[in-house]
Amino acid sequence: MAHSAMSGTGTTSGDDPLQTAVWRLRSRACWADAAALVPPGTAAGAMQRAALLVERCLYTEQGWQDAEDALRTAEALAHDDEERGAAACERGQLAYAATLHGVRDRADEARAALGRAAALIPPDATGRALLDFRRGLVAENISRSPQAAKAAYRRAHTAAALHSDSLLLSFTWRHLAGLALRDGELAEARHGFAESLRIREELGYLVGTAPALVSLADAEVEPEASRLREEARRLFRLLGGVPTWLARQLAPPAAPSPSGV
Protein backbone atom coordinates (compact mmCIF):
# COMPACT_ATOMS: atom_id res chain seq x y z
CA MET A 1 0.00 0.00 0.00
CA ALA A 2 1.20 3.52 -0.78
CA HIS A 3 0.89 5.20 2.60
CA SER A 4 1.56 8.63 1.21
CA ALA A 5 2.75 10.58 -1.77
CA MET A 6 5.70 11.51 0.43
CA SER A 7 7.03 7.95 0.15
CA GLY A 8 9.71 7.05 -2.36
CA THR A 9 7.44 4.82 -4.45
CA GLY A 10 8.41 4.93 -8.11
CA THR A 11 11.93 6.25 -7.54
CA THR A 12 13.91 3.06 -8.20
CA SER A 13 14.45 1.04 -11.37
CA GLY A 14 12.67 -2.02 -9.99
CA ASP A 15 9.40 -0.24 -9.28
CA ASP A 16 6.10 -0.82 -11.05
CA PRO A 17 6.10 1.15 -14.36
CA LEU A 18 2.85 2.84 -13.31
CA GLN A 19 4.44 4.05 -10.08
CA THR A 20 7.47 5.26 -12.03
CA ALA A 21 5.18 7.31 -14.28
CA VAL A 22 3.34 8.70 -11.27
CA TRP A 23 6.65 9.65 -9.67
CA ARG A 24 7.89 11.45 -12.79
CA LEU A 25 4.75 13.57 -12.96
CA ARG A 26 4.71 14.25 -9.25
CA SER A 27 8.36 15.26 -9.16
CA ARG A 28 7.66 17.83 -11.88
CA ALA A 29 4.73 19.40 -10.00
CA CYS A 30 2.04 17.65 -12.07
CA TRP A 31 0.11 16.21 -9.12
CA ALA A 32 -3.33 16.18 -10.76
CA ASP A 33 -1.96 14.32 -13.78
CA ALA A 34 -0.19 11.87 -11.48
CA ALA A 35 -3.37 11.27 -9.48
CA ALA A 36 -5.31 10.64 -12.69
CA LEU A 37 -3.02 7.70 -13.50
CA VAL A 38 -3.75 5.91 -10.22
CA PRO A 39 -6.58 3.37 -10.63
CA PRO A 40 -9.54 4.32 -8.40
CA GLY A 41 -11.77 1.99 -6.45
CA THR A 42 -9.27 0.40 -4.06
CA ALA A 43 -8.14 1.57 -0.66
CA ALA A 44 -4.51 1.77 -1.83
CA GLY A 45 -5.39 3.70 -4.99
CA ALA A 46 -7.70 6.10 -3.18
CA MET A 47 -5.04 6.72 -0.53
CA GLN A 48 -2.34 7.47 -3.07
CA ARG A 49 -4.63 9.80 -5.04
CA ALA A 50 -5.51 11.68 -1.87
CA ALA A 51 -1.86 11.95 -0.83
CA LEU A 52 -0.86 13.39 -4.19
CA LEU A 53 -3.61 16.01 -4.09
CA VAL A 54 -2.84 16.94 -0.49
CA GLU A 55 0.78 17.47 -1.49
CA ARG A 56 -0.38 19.72 -4.35
CA CYS A 57 -2.14 21.94 -1.79
CA LEU A 58 1.06 22.30 0.23
CA TYR A 59 3.15 23.27 -2.78
CA THR A 60 0.66 25.35 -4.79
CA GLU A 61 -1.90 26.63 -2.23
CA GLN A 62 -4.60 25.44 -4.66
CA GLY A 63 -6.85 22.43 -5.15
CA TRP A 64 -8.17 22.26 -1.59
CA GLN A 65 -11.60 20.90 -2.50
CA ASP A 66 -10.16 18.23 -4.81
CA ALA A 67 -7.91 17.06 -1.99
CA GLU A 68 -10.80 17.06 0.48
CA ASP A 69 -12.98 14.99 -1.86
CA ALA A 70 -10.19 12.50 -2.54
CA LEU A 71 -9.45 12.21 1.16
CA ARG A 72 -13.09 11.47 2.00
CA THR A 73 -13.04 8.67 -0.59
CA ALA A 74 -9.87 7.24 0.93
CA GLU A 75 -11.36 7.40 4.41
CA ALA A 76 -14.49 5.60 3.22
CA LEU A 77 -12.50 2.80 1.56
CA ALA A 78 -10.06 2.21 4.42
CA HIS A 79 -10.88 -1.14 6.02
CA ASP A 80 -8.12 -1.83 8.57
CA ASP A 81 -6.30 0.16 11.22
CA GLU A 82 -3.20 0.81 9.11
CA GLU A 83 -5.25 2.17 6.22
CA ARG A 84 -7.35 4.26 8.60
CA GLY A 85 -4.14 5.52 10.15
CA ALA A 86 -2.73 6.48 6.75
CA ALA A 87 -5.93 8.37 5.95
CA ALA A 88 -5.76 10.16 9.30
CA CYS A 89 -2.14 11.08 8.58
CA GLU A 90 -3.21 12.71 5.29
CA ARG A 91 -6.12 14.41 7.06
CA GLY A 92 -3.63 15.90 9.50
CA GLN A 93 -1.34 17.02 6.67
CA LEU A 94 -4.18 18.74 4.81
CA ALA A 95 -5.25 20.57 7.97
CA TYR A 96 -1.61 21.52 8.61
CA ALA A 97 -1.21 22.90 5.07
CA ALA A 98 -4.41 24.95 5.35
CA THR A 99 -3.21 26.41 8.65
CA LEU A 100 0.33 27.05 7.41
CA HIS A 101 -0.88 28.92 4.32
CA GLY A 102 -3.49 30.92 6.20
CA VAL A 103 -6.44 29.41 4.35
CA ARG A 104 -8.15 28.51 7.62
CA ASP A 105 -6.96 27.77 11.13
CA ARG A 106 -7.22 23.99 11.37
CA ALA A 107 -4.41 23.48 13.88
CA ASP A 108 -6.57 21.56 16.35
CA GLU A 109 -7.79 19.29 13.55
CA ALA A 110 -4.21 18.66 12.42
CA ARG A 111 -3.10 17.66 15.92
CA ALA A 112 -6.15 15.47 16.48
CA ALA A 113 -5.81 13.68 13.13
CA LEU A 114 -2.11 12.99 13.61
CA GLY A 115 -2.80 11.79 17.14
CA ARG A 116 -5.44 9.42 15.76
CA ALA A 117 -2.95 8.17 13.18
CA ALA A 118 -0.41 7.50 15.94
CA ALA A 119 -2.95 5.30 17.71
CA LEU A 120 -3.65 3.32 14.54
CA ILE A 121 -0.30 2.91 12.79
CA PRO A 122 1.94 0.29 14.47
CA PRO A 123 5.31 1.58 15.73
CA ASP A 124 7.25 -0.58 13.27
CA ALA A 125 5.07 0.13 10.21
CA THR A 126 6.58 1.94 7.24
CA GLY A 127 3.99 4.71 7.56
CA ARG A 128 5.22 5.60 11.05
CA ALA A 129 8.26 7.51 9.76
CA LEU A 130 6.10 9.87 7.72
CA LEU A 131 3.73 10.33 10.64
CA ASP A 132 6.59 11.27 12.96
CA PHE A 133 7.91 13.74 10.39
CA ARG A 134 4.52 15.41 10.07
CA ARG A 135 4.13 15.63 13.83
CA GLY A 136 7.46 17.41 13.78
CA LEU A 137 6.14 19.90 11.22
CA VAL A 138 3.19 20.72 13.44
CA ALA A 139 5.44 21.05 16.49
CA GLU A 140 7.85 23.37 14.68
CA ASN A 141 5.57 25.54 12.59
CA ILE A 142 2.29 25.62 14.51
CA SER A 143 3.09 24.85 18.14
CA ARG A 144 6.45 26.67 17.94
CA SER A 145 8.16 23.92 19.92
CA PRO A 146 11.57 23.27 18.30
CA GLN A 147 12.64 20.68 20.87
CA ALA A 148 9.53 18.56 20.27
CA ALA A 149 10.03 19.02 16.53
CA LYS A 150 13.65 17.87 16.73
CA ALA A 151 12.68 14.72 18.63
CA ALA A 152 9.99 13.88 16.06
CA TYR A 153 12.30 14.57 13.11
CA ARG A 154 14.99 12.34 14.62
CA ARG A 155 12.53 9.47 15.03
CA ALA A 156 11.40 9.95 11.45
CA HIS A 157 15.01 10.13 10.24
CA THR A 158 15.95 6.87 11.92
CA ALA A 159 12.87 5.06 10.61
CA ALA A 160 13.26 6.45 7.07
CA ALA A 161 16.84 5.17 7.01
CA LEU A 162 15.69 1.78 8.30
CA HIS A 163 13.06 1.51 5.55
CA SER A 164 15.37 2.96 2.86
CA ASP A 165 12.96 5.84 2.15
CA SER A 166 15.46 8.20 0.53
CA LEU A 167 12.90 10.85 -0.28
CA LEU A 168 11.70 11.14 3.30
CA LEU A 169 15.33 11.24 4.40
CA SER A 170 15.77 14.32 2.22
CA PHE A 171 13.01 15.99 4.23
CA THR A 172 14.31 14.96 7.64
CA TRP A 173 17.86 16.04 6.75
CA ARG A 174 16.55 19.44 5.66
CA HIS A 175 14.37 20.09 8.69
CA LEU A 176 16.95 18.90 11.21
CA ALA A 177 19.44 21.16 9.45
CA GLY A 178 17.01 24.06 9.72
CA LEU A 179 16.82 23.61 13.48
CA ALA A 180 20.61 23.37 13.66
CA LEU A 181 20.93 26.62 11.72
CA ARG A 182 18.52 28.30 14.13
CA ASP A 183 20.76 27.16 17.00
CA GLY A 184 23.87 28.54 15.30
CA GLU A 185 25.29 25.08 14.46
CA LEU A 186 26.49 26.13 11.01
CA ALA A 187 28.57 23.08 10.09
CA GLU A 188 25.79 20.68 11.09
CA ALA A 189 23.24 22.75 9.17
CA ARG A 190 25.40 22.89 6.05
CA HIS A 191 25.92 19.12 6.12
CA GLY A 192 22.19 18.37 6.52
CA PHE A 193 21.15 20.78 3.77
CA ALA A 194 23.80 19.36 1.43
CA GLU A 195 22.60 15.79 2.08
CA SER A 196 19.00 16.83 1.38
CA LEU A 197 19.99 18.46 -1.89
CA ARG A 198 22.13 15.50 -2.95
CA ILE A 199 19.29 13.03 -2.41
CA ARG A 200 16.75 15.17 -4.26
CA GLU A 201 19.06 15.62 -7.23
CA GLU A 202 19.78 11.87 -7.34
CA LEU A 203 16.06 11.05 -7.23
CA GLY A 204 15.17 13.69 -9.81
CA TYR A 205 12.80 15.36 -7.35
CA LEU A 206 12.70 18.58 -9.32
CA VAL A 207 9.91 20.29 -7.36
CA GLY A 208 11.86 19.83 -4.14
CA THR A 209 15.26 20.85 -5.49
CA ALA A 210 14.75 24.63 -5.45
CA PRO A 211 13.79 24.66 -1.74
CA ALA A 212 16.85 22.51 -0.99
CA LEU A 213 19.08 24.93 -2.88
CA VAL A 214 17.68 27.91 -0.98
CA SER A 215 18.14 26.16 2.37
CA LEU A 216 21.77 25.34 1.59
CA ALA A 217 22.32 28.94 0.45
CA ASP A 218 21.20 30.12 3.88
CA ALA A 219 24.10 28.22 5.43
CA GLU A 220 26.73 29.18 2.84
CA VAL A 221 28.87 32.27 2.34
CA GLU A 222 29.25 34.38 -0.79
CA PRO A 223 29.66 33.89 -3.66
CA GLU A 224 28.35 30.32 -3.25
CA ALA A 225 25.13 31.48 -1.56
CA SER A 226 24.21 33.71 -4.51
CA ARG A 227 25.02 30.95 -7.00
CA LEU A 228 22.73 28.53 -5.21
CA ARG A 229 19.88 31.05 -5.05
CA GLU A 230 20.20 31.83 -8.74
CA GLU A 231 19.97 28.12 -9.57
CA ALA A 232 16.88 27.92 -7.34
CA ARG A 233 15.32 30.85 -9.21
CA ARG A 234 15.91 29.06 -12.52
CA LEU A 235 14.13 25.91 -11.32
CA PHE A 236 11.36 27.96 -9.71
CA ARG A 237 10.65 29.69 -13.03
CA LEU A 238 10.89 26.37 -14.90
CA LEU A 239 8.11 24.92 -12.73
CA GLY A 240 5.86 27.95 -13.15
CA GLY A 241 6.37 29.43 -9.69
CA VAL A 242 6.08 26.25 -7.61
CA PRO A 243 6.43 25.90 -4.66
CA THR A 244 4.47 29.13 -4.29
CA TRP A 245 5.87 29.89 -0.84
CA LEU A 246 9.39 30.02 -2.24
CA ALA A 247 8.64 33.28 -4.09
CA ARG A 248 9.19 35.33 -0.94
CA GLN A 249 12.61 33.81 -0.32
CA LEU A 250 13.71 34.20 -3.93
CA ALA A 251 12.58 37.80 -4.38
CA PRO A 252 15.59 39.94 -5.36
CA PRO A 253 16.67 42.41 -2.71
CA ALA A 254 15.01 45.80 -2.96
CA ALA A 255 17.02 48.52 -4.64
CA PRO A 256 18.30 51.16 -2.21
CA SER A 257 16.21 54.34 -2.04
CA PRO A 258 17.72 57.45 -3.63
CA SER A 259 19.59 59.67 -1.19
CA GLY A 260 17.30 62.08 0.60
CA VAL A 261 14.07 60.14 -0.05
Task: Tell me the whole-structure pTM to 2 decimals.
Answer: 0.92
Supply the pLDDT for residue 14.
61
The more confidently predicted of residues 88 and 255 is 88
Mean pLDDT of the chain: 92
Supply the pLDDT for residue 260.
42
**Mean pLDDT computed over 136-146:** 97
Distance CA 171, CA 160 (A): 10
CA atoms within 13 A on the CB side of 28: 10
**Is 106 in contact with 99 (CB distance < 8 Å)?**
yes
User: Where in the chain does DSSP place strands (E)?
Assistant: none
The answer, yes or no, to whether residue 3 has pLDDT greater than 60, is: no
Distance CA 4, CA 24 (A): 16
Could you give phi then psi for residue 196, rounded to 5 degrees?
-60, -45
Could you give phi then psi for residue 244, rounded to 5 degrees?
-60, -35
